Structure 1
Amino acid sequence: MKNIFLILLSLFLSKMARAEPARDSLYIPQNQNSFTSIKLLEDDCDACGCAAGNGSSGFESLLNPQFIGIKYFAQHYKAKENLFVKDLTQDQYFNTIQLWGKIPITKKLSVYGSLPFQFHEKKTMQGDIRINGIGDLNVMGIYQLISSKDSFHQLNGGLGVKVPLGKFDEKGITGVNPSFQLGTGSWDYQMVLNYKYQKNKVAVLINTDYTIKTENKKYYQFGNQWNYAATGFYQIHADKKIILSGKVGLQGEVYDRNKQFNEALPDTAGSALYGKLGFELSYSKWSLGSEVMLPAYTNLAGGNIEAKSRLSVFINFGI
């Protein structure tokens, strides 16, 4: 799988490198689907948000800037069965189906929201453990800070809050991966910055966001999280009705240590870096997209957890 991913990645990058300025610019008037606007911020598929399980799936679509839709996001991790086992034998699967949308308030201000439904599973020697239910609600205000006259450059910022609707199980923090939860049980706060450059058939997005996590009612606090990503888009096909673009990029995540009763916990911090490859297709007001992510580097929970693959699929309706 990794070899196939690297081959596709190399082909895509070589095509972007050979791309010459074309007469058919990416710019199309706002009443049509195009690469003209972005959906901001790293979407947090909130399994809960610590060493593993709160992977960002790349909220970087260039189609349908204002939308409502549904998204599926799957994550796979390997963890130690227990502290006395050296090998990473336990498969953990984090799955999320979420409703999301970005609604315009003014010309420059929009409100983004997402409500996830989680269904997670981990395989242990004692049998499979499954949890499912509603996750934490995300709400964010997004403001366009800068937009150049030629539309080549755009800078957006956002502030948001995560409402603890998902269940937090205190027993779950005793395992190797305390992120095996439906929610953090805490009010968390997010800051986002997003830059876009586009010209002709090529666009580049650079995203960064930081989440501040607070202590929940069980005196447990998940570590703060920093996400960053760089993604390149290439318009493969465009006509009056259909636009198809490919995308390739890198995405990283850094997690601070969790705390309990204000004491930092060992083996709860970590970081991971992913390569990603995907596509987006729009028809009329509808857009469809998918993305595959594979780890280039992973060091989670003191080496007790290894990130494997991620997959996301979404379908949106422009409003």
Structure 2
Amino acid sequence: MNKITLIFSLVLSLMFQAKPINDSIDFTDHINRVLWDDCDACGCAAGSGSSGFESLLNPQFIGIKYFAQHYKAKENMFVKDLSQDQYFNTLQVWGKIPVTKNLSVYASLPFHFHEKKTMQGDINISGIGDLNVMGIYRLMNSKDNFHQLNGGLGVKVPLGKFDEKGISGVNPSFQLGTGSWDYQAALNYKFQKNKLALLVNTDYTVKTVNKKHYRFGNQWNYAATGFYQIAGNEKTIFSAKAGLQGEVYDKNKQFNEVLPNTAGSALYGKLGFEASYKKFSLGGEVMLPAYSNLAGGDIEARSRFSVFINFGI
């Protein structure tokens, strides 16, 4: 719990210790370019939902993001220690296009390249993941622009390959896709004043049965992230961010039978930065687990890292 306390204290200090500055620079566009972490945990190459999106207020853009995850898992049933390293890597193309004043459409297409190290040798898979599409609607915007609330409904199109053999391992999410049509609902709240911003997000993904009669468990994500603008002018902005992000997974099923050791949850602390120059924005983030209980303890979350570059169009 020390990690949770440290990160949470940092967020609170950013929110409450910084004093309002009348001549501060408005970094709305900069915060608006902070995007989703579009990957499930545990590799969730099953790739459906997201692990919480940072903002639903992005201007029109195209971008590329790299996202890496590291887990430790049991090698086999006769090994007590978590000795197997599993690496999940995703390179993702995304974009967001406004349709009306309050309605936008977001889409992302990932390319996964995953690896796990076993006693029999390394196992690698790579290929296109599942396509995500979401409609985003602005539900509320205060007159002073300090508060904003957005909602979204989305669908995941099963373009990624689902390998039935992969579900026999410790981590059945060692896949390129779920093989199923999955559906997501999301809410995003933003508070911004002067050089401070706070984003609170939650989303829930309903996963359906695929052609192999396998169903990944539904997923709930939540996150709170604080931002503070360190420097900036009319063209350039640099800010730091810190927060917490949690994920909860329901049990997987096959032929409608519940599979043991497939549910779990994890909580991460995260630190990162965002920088922008004119229409370009660059960001990076490191996440470390404060709590991990995945697959009945057979999998342990270790670390995550992401970096993105976007261009406003």
Range class of TM-score, shorter chain: over 0.9
* Residues 315 and 166 (structure 1), Cα distance of their counterparts in 2 relative to 1, 3 Å cut: same
Counterparts of 1:148 and 1:6 in 2: how far apart (Å)?
32
**1:156 partnered with 2:155:** no
Unpaired runs of at least 5, structure 2: none
Match of 1:166?
A: 160
Deviation at 1:58, TM superposition (A): 5.0
Counterparts of 1:113 and 1:147 in 2: how far apart (Å)?
24
* Residues 19 and 79 (structure 1), Cα distance of their counterparts in 2 relative to 1, 3 Å cut: same
**Structure 1 residue identity aligned to 2:26:** Y
**1:94 partnered with 2:93:** no
> Which of 234, 243, 251 is the matching residue for 2:245?
251
Match of 1:217?
A: 211
* Superimposed CA distance per residue, residues 87-115 of structure 1 (whole angstroms, 9 cap, x where no aligned partner): 00000000000000111100100000000
Deviation at 1:17, TM superposition (A): 3.6
Match of 2:199?
A: 205
Match of 1:181?
A: 175
Match of 1:23?
A: 22
* Superimposed CA distance per residue, residues 242-300 of structure 1 (whole angstroms, 9 cap, x where no aligned partner): 01111100000000000000011010000000000001000000000011000000000
Percent of aligned pairs with the same amino acid: 78
**Structure 2 residue identity aligned to 1:271:** S
Deviation at 1:60, TM superposition (A): 1.5
Secondary structure of the 1:88 match is: coil
**Structure 2 residue identity aligned to 1:174:** S
Match of 2:221?
A: 227
> Which of 285, 295, 302 is the matching residue for 1:301?
295
Counterparts of 1:264 and 1:8 in 2: how far apart (Å)?
36
* Superimposed CA distance per residue, residues 158-193 of structure 1 (whole angstroms, 9 cap, x where no aligned partner): 000000000000000000000000000000000000
Q: Is the 8 A contact 2:49 2:205 kept in 1?
A: no
Calculate the aligned-residue CA RMSD, in Å: 2.6
Unpaired runs of at least 5, structure 1: none
Deviation at 1:65, TM superposition (A): 2.5
Q: TM-score, normalised by structure 2?
A: 0.92
